[in-house]
Structure 1
Amino acid sequence: MTCLPAAFDQTLSDLLGAHWRTDTATLAAHAQDNSWRHALPLGVALPEDRAQVQAIVRACRAHGVPLVGRGAGTGTTGAAVPVAGGIVLSFARMNRILALRPGDRCAVVEPGVLNGDLQQALMPHGLFWPPDPSSFESCSIGGNLATNAGGPRAVKYGTTRDNVLGLVAVTGAGELIECGGPWTKDATGYDLTHLLVGSEGTLALIVEATLRLAPRPRAQAGLRVLYRDASSAAAAVSRVMAQPATPTTLEFMDARSLELLRGNGAQVPDAGAMLLIDADGDDDTLPNILHALAQAAEGEGLLALDVAMDGSAREQLWAARRALSPALRRIAPGKINEDVVVPVSRIPELVAGVQALSARFELPIVTFGHAGNGNLHVNILYHPDDAGQNARAHAALPEVFALALALGGTLSGEHGIGLAKRAFMAQAFTPATLAAMRAIKRALDPDDILNPGKVLPDAEAAHR
């Protein structure tokens, strides 16, 4: 679509007034997300309530205008990029915390609420919302819901999908649907709540969410464990996750990651790999949990194991960990960042396979991430202006996905599919499974106006 119908433009102008934007600066500000893919929309709508969202969707359907829902734009797969033209619907103005219900351990929020702002509002109540992606201070709850965001705490507390109780959403037909609610048990009908979480705005636009909250732990402590090589650390991940004590976080970092940590000011000795293991509980139980985790972490290749009880020391190490992804630019200006998942028991094979790919393609590949969930971030680094490196980097990417799938894994643990991985969906799912997904898409978005061209592969590619 190269231009908007005049009647559509007038409808949105009448509905939104100054919050219907078609000026150059606003279009440019909504043309990309953190994937750095870029496509200009033809307009940007900023509704203030669900009724306006319904009216916008109905107008888009009536005039055949594609619509992309957008949160804070921190996603990395291009899911919020309007590649089909049309308009972007920004939830920036729908940013109200509608209710905090400590007695029910839930909060009711609009999608534009920032994760960090919600966490601050919950602190006086001794509660928190578990999803903690690296962008938690600036990412929106709606974006977390759209991608099923996770973060380090997902090892113990689960991803976004595990921490949502109910949703209100607008389908591609402009209908308002309500599913779930402020309860933790529900055996009533189909589970639309968890279907919509992770659907990246392709099925419906979430306008309200009831979130499951958790009590803040009374005590926390961590282990910093250094290993001779990556394979020793990967083997330790399997041991840690096989014993009864569940860590709050279990992060893996390879040798190149440790170099970057030191560059960020973290006091980390030379080693082949490191695990950061956090645990929480109360003053009575935490020492026993920490002891069990330390015992499991010990083994072949161990160089050092330190207990970090001091809050400032732990925070410094975690701040350096969160800064790892942007710090990769120090190695090379080009980066392909994928977040594949394998069963935890196969983490050693994934790490070994990625190291082999790095050697074969003669490119640095930095690996770190949420090993307790089997979810590692594989970062292929290259110089885009070097034709050889560029070609090798993009040739290595399919092999990373093929490796993860061969190990019984999947394409993404928390970033989602968006544009970046949709071509590989036919390798991850059977034609019948993809057909079922398409049938759900048609039922909720009959005219394919919601985020078209994302998540599902083209029909002709839907074979294994």
Structure 2
Amino acid sequence: MTLPATLQHELSDLFGDGWLISPSERVAYAFDNSRREALPDAVALPTTRAQVQALVRACRAHRVPVVARGRGTNTTGASVPVDGGIVVSFERMDRILAVRPGDRCAVVEPGVLNGDLQAALRPHGLFWPPDPTSAAFSTVGGNLACNAGGPRAVKYGASRDNVLALTAVTGSGELIICGTATTKGSTGYDLHRLLVGSEGTLALIVEASLRLTPTPMARRALRAIYRDVSSAAQAVARLMAQPVTPSMLEFMDADAVRLARDVGGADLPHDAGALLMIEADGDEELLPYAIEALMAAAEGDGLVSLDDAADDAAREKLWAARKALSPSLRTLAPGKINEDVVVPVSRIPHLVDGVQALSREFALPIVCFGHAGNGNLHVNLMYHPNDVEQSARAHAAMARVFALTLSLGGTLSGEHGIGLAKRDFMPQAVSAPTLALMRQVKQVFDPDGILNPGKLLPP
């Protein structure tokens, strides 16, 4: 679409050098980590909530789409401006407004990088639990938009569980404050949790009050290697059925183990059929008892070896190799469909077995790893996009993965969100009355449908 001249003049005056309209400037905001691409008509770089409010009101008057953006690390196309309009990048709203250790609370703008926040909290002995792989360069606003989690979510929860209050601008340009910066509150509807995970379709977050957690006194990691993925998946169910909650419980299938070893540099055996990385944290004196309980649960049919990470350096190297897995997948094939499905933990063995069967049926490599303690596995289907027949097989296989997940009582996404990639599967994932209610909620927050149109809810 072409922006009306009056709107261009109004917003150019409002944003000054934060108003980008040349194609060379706009192209950097046309894509995200999904590799989908659509050029926006303009890019706005606000520095204040008042600018965001003024922009939304002006865009509403002209029915121009508004797409919020952090750093574009999303994998579902949620920040791609498919209908043109204006991308609102929050990179200049990147201040940590307050850290209140006594309240276990931090107040931040949406453009603060997750990694920068963690560094600022470290001297206070606190951390913000969400730790996606992209933490070093993803924003808090982006984490909230898709309800990011990461390995620690098994014990500490995802973004939705670690936010106290949000200030946001709705699609009608109203500034709303949802929640309260206290650890308890029961005053009306839980709107701030509704906004988390809404992918910028309901409101634009301009400030967040985050729930902080004390940094654990000590950590210990275990490495459990299994004969095959089925044995490892059965062990996950045992680990989560006993009383000690691991602080991390990560799963890798055989291909993921090979990549972690050959590309990531991890010290892993060549005959590993699957691997679990298990971590416990807590008080130094009580930690050995937790480790003992986790080791007992990890024992069972198919266990090849069970090792304590010798020291912090060994533990960090193993986790670094895990975090390098996603980019290293490109060594298998140039194309990747990466979906983060979730099933009840007890049904992980059925999901893993089913995915392996699909890999054989469609003759395509499917690499599985992820946050097994939450039942949240990253299913990575590798293919050659330039091969039309192979591309068709890949997308058909992923549709079957979704169907398998739903048949096991699971859901489409644990932390990546819906965006464009899974939007058309929403009618399979939620009931028709539920989907209708979601549309009504969207209408209340965004009466003219200008906020991130085409995402999350199917046409």
- 1:4 aligned residue: 3
1:335 paired to 2:336: yes
Measured in 2, the distance between the counterparts of 1:283 and 1:92 equals 40
1:201-253 CA distance string (max 9 Å, x none): 00000000000000001100000000000000000000000000000000000
SS at match of 2:397: helix
Measured in 2, the distance between the counterparts of 1:25 and 1:386 equals 31
Give the TM-score normalised by the residue count of structure 1: 0.98
Measured in 1, the distance between the counterparts of 2:275 and 2:452 equals 40
- Describe how 1:361-372 pairs up with structure 2 within 5 A: 361-372=362-373
- 2:191 aligned residue: 192
- 1:258 aligned residue: 257
Measured in 2, the distance between the counterparts of 1:382 and 1:179 equals 43
- Describe how 1:33-432 pairs up with structure 2 within 5 A: 33-263=32-262, 264-269=264-269, 270-432=271-433
Shift of 1:308: 1.0
Q: CA contact under 8 A between 1:230 and 1:254: conserved in structure 2?
A: yes
1:1-22 CA distance string (max 9 Å, x none): x210000001101111111110
Measured in 1, the distance between the counterparts of 2:173 and 2:92 equals 20
Amino acid at match of 1:233: A
Moved over 4 A (4+): none
Measured in 2, the distance between the counterparts of 1:293 and 1:25 equals 54
Q: Percent identity?
A: 69
Measured in 1, the distance between the counterparts of 2:400 and 2:375 equals 18
Shift of 1:261: 1.0
SS at match of 1:378: strand
Structure 2: stretches of 5+ with no match in the other structure: none
Q: CA contact under 8 A between 1:31 and 1:82: conserved in structure 2?
A: yes
Measured in 1, the distance between the counterparts of 2:260 and 2:46 equals 42
CA RMSD, 1 decimal: 0.6
Measured in 1, the distance between the counterparts of 2:288 and 2:420 equals 45
Shift of 1:387: 2.3
Give the TM-score normalised by the residue count of structure 2: 0.99
Amino acid at match of 2:212: L
Amino acid at match of 2:331: R
- 1:442 aligned residue: 443
Shift of 1:309: 4.4
Q: CA contact under 8 A between 1:331 and 1:381: conserved in structure 2?
A: yes
Stretch moving more, 380-389 or 317-326: 380-389
Measured in 2, the distance between the counterparts of 1:179 and 1:390 equals 44
Measured in 2, the distance between the counterparts of 1:161 and 1:276 equals 25
- 1:461 aligned residue: none
Shift of 1:25: 1.7
Shift of 1:186: 1.0
Amino acid at match of 1:266: A
Measured in 1, the distance between the counterparts of 2:186 and 2:119 equals 33
Shift of 1:57: 0.2
Measured in 2, the distance between the counterparts of 1:307 and 1:358 equals 33
Measured in 1, the distance between the counterparts of 2:421 and 2:102 equals 41
Shift of 1:385: 1.9
Q: CA contact under 8 A between 1:329 and 1:335: conserved in structure 2?
A: yes
Shift of 1:28: 0.2
Shift of 1:388: 2.2
